[in-house]
Amino acid sequence: MKKILLQAALGQKTVKVPFWFMRQAGRYLPEYREIRSKHKTIDMFKSPSIASEITMQPLRRFNSLSGAILYADILLIPDSLGLSLSFVENEGPVFDKAIRTEQDIQEIEERVEFIEQWVQNLAYVAKTISLVKPQLADFQTMIGFAGAPFTVASYMIEGRSTKKNFLETKTFLFRYPKLFHRLMSVITKATISYLKMQIQAGCEVVQLFESWSGAIPASFYSEFCTPYLKTITAEIKKLCPVIVYMGEGAALYDEVEKISPSVFSVDWRQNFEQVCDRFSNTEISLQGNLDPMLLYAEKDLLELEASKCLNLGKNFKNGYIFNLGHGCLQTTPIDNVKLLSEIISQF
């Protein structure tokens, strides 16, 4: 059978619409929570046997999924750069150390000086991929991922999750622009090496998560973020298709076109019809963009809204992959995930 997700990511039209869900492996599944009750989150990422099992869990429940997304985290790179990542209950990711000074940046620059040696700190991720790949059906695509440089940098500067005003990140950017560029360069270099390792281990498509693309003005994004995301995308596209997810990215369509990913993953806030029109004269495929909260809706509304996305995507001139406009939530009803999978498969 053909891998239709890979086909769509390469820009090809497909007979059936491929689909996967961001955070399809995770807290809404009881089998995941059972494992989580026995292990720390960071240890789960670093154990290939556990991470491969979690990666496969949603594919056993929803066997028509077109792809498996690696169970990992976008913050494994800064963890391997010496910031020491942990996950605190009801708070999320926390680093023992944050990036605030030139000395801090110099230290992580030194860590990636010998990049081939450094990336071996993340060899457990490659092992996870190698355990998952043989378990996939012939039609399923192995998806790797990393965080986009700005999103990763924001966590490194804040020292923890931030969803409010990005005070430390924006202060650092505005006061120390040269240092910010140096930080972005380190993350870019590390991300390219990390993704190449994932591809060598068996990933056929990769996604870059720019979750916080709307946190800074578009002009600053163009100057401080686009060049780095473009560099990663261009380098990795030599090896496999690259999906770029832009959270809150409605002001950045011009930047997306400059970045030139294989696939633009559209968040749930955007008008998908307008996005389809905006990118109709490009070679970029699309992914998205159902609001994940619609998985809490009644069947009729869920089917109606999913069908809108499916019809727009099916008629888009390039490839199309159905996905949510963000990830599944912790309390997402499993029955509705199953229903959505059936709606897409029968479309």
DSSP state of 89: T
Structure-token pair, residue 317? 């001139």
**Rounded-to-integer distance, Cα 286 and Cα 60, Å:** 26
Compute CA distances 268 → 110, 111, 173, 223, 327, whole Å: 39, 37, 28, 25, 10
Q: How many CB atoms lie within 10 A of CB 284?
A: 20
How deeply is 265 buried, as exposed, middle or buried, from its count of CB atoms within 10 A (0-12, 13-18, 19+)? buried
Contact (Cβ atoms closer than 8 angstroms) between residue 214 and residue 233: no
27 in catalytic set: yes
Give yes or no for a cis peptide into 311 (omega within 30° of 0): no
Identify the active-site residue in 27, 61, 111, 269: 27
23 in catalytic set: yes
Q: How many CB atoms lie within 10 A of CB 19?
A: 31
Return the C-alpha torsion angle 172, 175, 178, 179, nearest 10. Answer: -30
Contacts of residue 333, defined as CB under 8 A and 6 or more positions apart, other chains included, come to 28, 295, 296
Identify the active-site residue in 28, 32, 71, 155: 155
Identify the active-site residue in 32, 71, 73, 194: 73
**Rounded-to-integer distance, Cα 108 and Cα 82, Å:** 7
How deeply is 35 buried, as exposed, middle or buried, from its count of CB atoms within 10 A (0-12, 13-18, 19+)? middle
Q: Hey, is 22 helix, strand or coil?
A: coil
Identify the active-site residue in 36, 100, 111, 269: 36
First to last CA, the chain: 18
36 in catalytic set: yes
Beta bridge partners of 86: 94
Catalytic residue set = 23, 27, 36, 73, 155
